[in-house]
Amino acid sequence: MLRFLVKSAIRAVAASYNTPERRGARGERLVHNVLTSVLNEQEYRVLTDVILPVAGGTTQIDHLVLSRFGIFVIETKNMSGWIFGGANQQKWTQVQKRSKRRFQNPLRQNYAHVKAVQDILQVDQEALHNLIVFTGTAEPKTAMPDSVAWGLKDLGRLIALQRKQILTDVQVNAYVKKLRDQALDNTKATRNEHLQNLEKKAAAKKQTPAKETAVNLDQIACPKCGKEMVKRTNRKTGDAFWGCASFPKCRGTRKAANR
């Protein structure tokens, strides 16, 4: 009987240790440790687990890296198994040995964080980089956008690719200060309130007609970088299409749906 109770206790502890929330927290700590140890602190400023006020509630950002080469808004996913998805899909799929689950497209999830930073700092879209990093053993099974990193080494590569100076050192310092001033104290009460806001938004989305939601989502996902897209017209054919707002830096396009 005692042996059974001990085994049950061990299983309970293991289960609580491997909840999605705890796996996510471990992934975020890992990314923070790597970013702060690898990136030159003279060039890059790292902010982690930042809760910012937005219209109608709050938004929680895993990591922000600010530099002369732009502001990197990073969403961490500590996952395993196979990952299926694309920039234009609302939901991605995680497949493990005996399970399959759908989760929100992280590029779209992180886009809300990008817009929150843009609204607070009042910076151009060109200065913002929407990056996703998978820190677990997950493997992509479909073609993924260039802004999705598979492992910390790949994340470092994506950050290092950006070498065009967009901001000055004075601007970087001012933006770091403004974000810190705007950020809410990361207390248990603040986190609970943030989760309550997310639940309210999720409930509100369920009441929104699916067709209207699809129209709104069509406008935000560049297949190459995940940034916002704007509607344009082909000069030769007159056909409408979606083009990345960062053109000519990014030349991502997608067909415009006929409505």
d(C-alpha 123, C-alpha 64), whole Å: 15
- Please give the chain's pLDDT, 259 residues, in tens: 545 444 454 454 444 445 555 655 677 888 989 898 889 999 999 999 999 998 888 999 999 999 999 999 999 999 999 999 998 899 999 999 889 999 999 999 999 999 999 999 999 999 999 999 999 999 999 999 999 999 999 999 999 999 999 999 999 999 999 999 999 987 777 777 766 666 666 666 666 554 444 434 444 577 777 777 888 877 767 778 888 888 877 878 887 765 4
What's the token pair of residue 112? 């809300």
**Predicted pLDDT at 207:** 67
Residue 28 φ then ψ, to 5°: -65, -40
> What sign does the CA torsion over 121, 123, 128, 130 have?
positive
What pLDDT does 192 receive?
75
Average pLDDT score, the chain? 83
Over residues 25-74, the pLDDT tens digits come to: 677 888 989 898 889 999 999 999 999 998 888 999 999 999 999 999 99
pLDDT of residue 22: 62
Measured distance between the N- and C-terminal CA atoms of the chain, rounded to whole angstroms = 67
Question: What pLDDT was estimated at residue 122?
Answer: 96
Whole-angstrom distance, CA of residue 73 vs CA of residue 22: 21
pLDDT of amino acid 198: 61
Tell me the pTM.
Answer: 0.72
For residues 157-170, one letter each, b for 16 or more C-beta atoms within 10 angstroms of the residue's C-beta and e for the rest, the string is: ebbeeeeeebbeee
Q: What would the two tokens of residue 163 be?
A: 């070498």
Query: What is the reported pLDDT for 3?
Result: 55
